[in-house]
Amino acid sequence: MKTFVIGISGVTNGGKTTLAKNLQKHLPNCSVISQDDFFKPESEIETDENGFLQYDVLEALNMEEMMSAISCWMENPTRSPVSTREESIKEIPILIIEGFLLFHYKPLDTVWNRSYFLTIPYEECKRRRSTRVYKPPDAPGYFDGHVWPMYLKHKKEMENVSWEIVYLDGTKSEEDLFSQVYEDVIQELAKQKGV
């Protein structure tokens, strides 16, 4: 069975979850898996020389469990019966995987039909991050000492990926981001179906 898998990655507080949820509301047969649901317990998170918990690395995530969830979906994607030719795009089950470190995990390299990466400038990212409540809470200096440097490191590493990633401006409105990605996805689905 054909499936269509969308990756939405990017900077912390860049709008990944919001975009994924907006797309899920408007795309037929659409499921979402969030990488944030696969963080290991705090007791298993490494600490660096500055005492910062190392949450912004793959080792902080149970990626095997996440891959298992993706595999389960691939084996049995939700699908609703469709009869008219005009609705042929709706026949393809869609999975959106959203998270901050999707394009760095080799086993996922071959699943993407479409990949998006949200970016926002440093000041805006820091401002947004300061309005969120995390468990455990960000320690003083955590953003500048760990979060932002790790984001820059991961973004640089993405220059070596072998597939196309569409970079999105996370400072655009939710509506503009949704429209841009929704139109792109619909075009890609139509190509896949030969509509």
Q: What is the pLDDT of residues 64-101, one digit of tens each?
A: 999 999 999 998 886 544 444 345 556 789 999 999 99
- Percentage of the residues of the chain whose pLDDT score is greater than 70: 92
Mean pLDDT of the chain: 88
Which pTM was predicted? Answer: 0.89
Choose between 170 and 81: higher pLDDT: 170
Segment 129-139 mean pLDDT: 85
- pLDDT the model gives residue 86: 40
The CA distance from 23 to 48, in Å, is 37
pLDDT tier, 157 (very low <50, low <70, confident <90, very high otherwise) = confident
Taking residues 155-170, report their average pLDDT: 89
Question: In this predicted model, which residue has the larger pLDDT, 191 or 81?
Answer: 191
Residue 158 or 120, more confident = 120
Rounded average pLDDT over 14-36: 93
Tokens representing 107?
A: 């086993």
Instruction: Tell which residue, 157, 128, 121, has the closest CA to residue 17.
Output: 128
Share of the chain above pLDDT 90, in %: 59
Higher pLDDT, 81 or 113: 113
Q: Which long-range contacts (CB under 8 A, 24 or more apart) does 182-185 make?
A: 182/23, 182/26, 182/27, 184/114, 185/4, 185/6, 185/23, 185/27, 185/94, 185/114
**Which residues are designated catalytic?**
36
What average pLDDT score do residues 52-71 get?
A: 92
Overall average pLDDT of the 97-121 stretch: 92
Q: Distance between CA atoms of 84 and 161, rounded to whole angstroms?
A: 38
Q: Is the pLDDT of residue 194 over 90?
A: no
The answer on pLDDT for 195 being more than 90 is no
Check pLDDT > 50 for residue 58: yes
